[in-house]
Amino acid sequence: MTVWRAPRVTGPVTATVELPGSKSITNRALILAALASGPSTVRGVLRSRDTDLMLGALSALGVGIESGDNPTTVTVTPASLHGADVYCGLAGTVLRFLPPVAAFADGPVRFDADEQARTRPQSTILGALRVLGVDVDGDTLPFTVNGTGRATGGAVTIDASASSQFVSGLLLSAPRFDDGVTVHHVGKPVPSTPHIDMTVDMLTTAGVSVDTAEANTWRVAPGPIRAVDWVVEPDLSNAAAFLAAAAATGGTVTVPYWPTVTTQPGAQIADVLRDMGCQVTLSGGNLTVTGPDRLSPVSIDLHDIGELTPTIAALVALADGASVLSGIAHLRGHETNRLEALATEINRLGGKVTETDDGLRIESAPLHGGHWLSYADHRMATAGALIGLVTDDVDVDDIETTAKTLPDFPAMWQQMIAGTA
């Protein structure tokens, strides 16, 4: 692991930053392509640790994966699946999306992951698979799905309040079950529901019938998944840290190819930055953020956009006043306990952060340099980089963890600030 001195600027950042493809869309497109009725081409594929783990797992299961000179264009050819060893790393999309796919393999599919992932909730998806007629050994990592090439399906009731990925994981493979799948959620509200909307939208594009008429219930009819040539949008959640750099420095950052309509929850960073006093414009596919002289504090419910919390927490730590981030108790079960981690690291640098039952209260305080731990969490690492942009001598450990969703974050960050005083 590398300790990385976060680059410090003393003037406004002015840059145009092109982002690679969305991890969320990439891994959903790859799953649907692997289960489709014929070959598909996925363009704009993010090539990062999470997506490469998905590509490797599908290949191990027998799916044809080919890319030519351009690694961001991948041809996926469905095939009869067989037993395999699947390594999930820290990728929640691999950990939650692939066990249902493994039900259709002819043989055992063994799952394991990085040590940090072993604490992440998994019994929900595995228990649901058992109800749907799938043989599973174990409730935590490592576990084995004993595929038989088919599964009955039917109705299942789950508590998905820890992660929307439990719902998406079941829905993506649902058309392949003999009776389809009906997922009913009970419990606290499902976090990050826009990610479920993304799943439903992509299933519909692939010709799958999804009934969402009843609240907290998703009905997927059995049937073929149409082969689709997917085009992956830029990752708008990854864009957040770069746009926040404009907010933190009073600068201007533009992200091109910003979609006018999207199911990516990361797009909501534009609204948050506007609430903090930034000027935000979308013109000709370019989203441009210009930061104010002083950032305004916010009180905001981040339940649907929890993945943006580290960036927003870092930014409000630089704002003038007290902010309250709520609706994010579920982040205690992400790559790390993000609420505890953010409170610990911001306070280590002189901040004033307290945990609440469902979020964080962050008051303005002068920050100073120090060692920022990333906890093997890519969004914690980028949050440290953001604070280091305007704070002397911030050292971020394990900057390599950003490769989970960004192939070379340090180089992109350095390029963004090139020419800034």
* Residue 307 known to bind ligand: yes
pLDDT of residue 421: 58
Question: Residue 352 annotated as binding?
Answer: no
Average pLDDT over residues 62-71: 94
User: What stretch of H or E contains 171?
Assistant: helix 165-173
Please answer whether residues 105 and 84 qualify as being in contact, where contact means their C-beta atoms are separated by less than 8 angstroms.
Answer: yes
Q: Which of 130, 98, 128 is nearest to 113 (CA)?
A: 98
Q: How far apart are CA 40 and CA 68, in angstroms?
A: 14
Pairing of strands 230-231, 14-16: unpaired
Average pLDDT over residues 105-115: 96
Residue with tokens 């002189």: 350
Q: Is the pLDDT of residue 405 over 70?
A: yes
Contact status, residue 35 vs residue 173, Cβ threshold 8 Å = yes
Residue 67 is predicted with a pLDDT of 93
What 3-state DSSP class applies to 337? coil
165 is in an annotated binding site: yes
Q: Quick one: which of 55, 108, 52, 119 has its CA closest to 85?
A: 108
Residue 205, pLDDT > 90, answer yes
- Cα distances from 181 to residues 91, 206, 210, 356, in angstroms, run 24, 16, 10, 37
pLDDT of residue 117: 87
- CA–CA dist 338, 387 (Å, integer): 16
- Domain limits, the chain: 3-20+234-417, 23-231
Secondary structure (3-state) at 115: helix
| 47 is known to lie in a ligand binding site | no
Determine which helix (DSSP H) or strand (DSSP E) holds 416, and give its type and residue range: helix 409-417
Euclidean distance between CA atoms 177 and 175, whole angstroms: 6
348 is in an annotated binding site: no
Strands (E), 224-268: 230-231, 252-255
Annotated catalytic residues are: 307
User: Which positions ≥6 away from 62 have C-beta within 8 Å?
Assistant: 79, 80, 81, 82, 84, 105
3-state helix, strand, coil in the chain (%, to 5): 35, 25, 40
Q: How far apart are CA 7 and CA 69, in angstroms?
A: 33
Annotated binding-site residue? 323: no
* CA angle in degrees (0–180, nearest 5) for 197-119-408: 65
Work out the mean pLDDT of the chain and round it to a whole number.
96
User: Mind listing the pLDDT tens digit for each residue in 373-391?
Assistant: 999 999 999 999 999 999 9
Q: Rounded mean pLDDT of 200-229? A: 97
Give the DSSP H or E segment for 196: helix 193-205
Give dist(CA 193, CA 352) in Å, integer.
30
Quickly state the pLDDT bin for 122 (edges 50, 70, 90).
confident
Residue 167 pLDDT > 70: yes
Q: What is the pLDDT of residues 308-361, one digit of tens each?
A: 999 999 999 999 999 999 999 999 987 789 999 999 999 999 999 999 999 999
Q: Round to whole Å and give the CA distance between 364 and 311.
A: 16
Residue range 195-200: average pLDDT? 97
Spatial contact of 278 and 292, defined as CB atoms under 8 Å apart: yes
Q: Which two tokens stand for residue 53?
A: 């783990």
Q: Do 3-20+234-417 and 23-231 agree at the fold level?
A: yes
pLDDT, one tens digit per residue, over 245-286 is 999 999 999 999 999 999 999 999 999 999 999 999 999 999
Confidence grade of residue 119 (pLDDT, cut at 50, 70, 90): confident
Contact present, 151 and 132 (Cβ < 8 Å): yes
Return the pLDDT at 183.
98
Mean pLDDT along residues 233-248 = 97
Domain 3-20+234-417: assigned CATH number: 3.65.10.10
* Mean pLDDT along residues 129-150: 97
Are 61 and 101 in contact, with CB atoms under 8 Å apart? yes
pTM of this structure: 0.89
Query: The domain 23-231 is classified under which CATH number: 3.65.10.10, 3.40.640.10, 3.40.50.11060, 3.40.50.300?
Result: 3.65.10.10
For 281, other C-beta atoms within 10 Å of its C-beta total 11
- The answer to which of 36-40, 58-62, 328-332 has the lowest mean pLDDT is 328-332
Per-residue confidence (pLDDT) for residue 56, from 0 to 100: 98
Q: In sequence order, what are the residues at sequence separation of 6 or more whose Cβ sits closer than 8 angstroms to the Cβ of residue 300?
A: 272, 275, 312, 323, 324, 325, 326
User: Nearest to residue 356, comparing CAs of 342, 376, 345, 368?
Assistant: 342
CB 369 within 8 A of CB 392: yes
> Which amino acid is present at 53?
L
pLDDT at residue 223 is higher than 80: yes
Buried (b) or exposed (e) across 329-339, using 16+ Cβ within 10 A?
bbbebbbbbbb
In the predicted model, is pLDDT for residue 26 greater than 70? yes
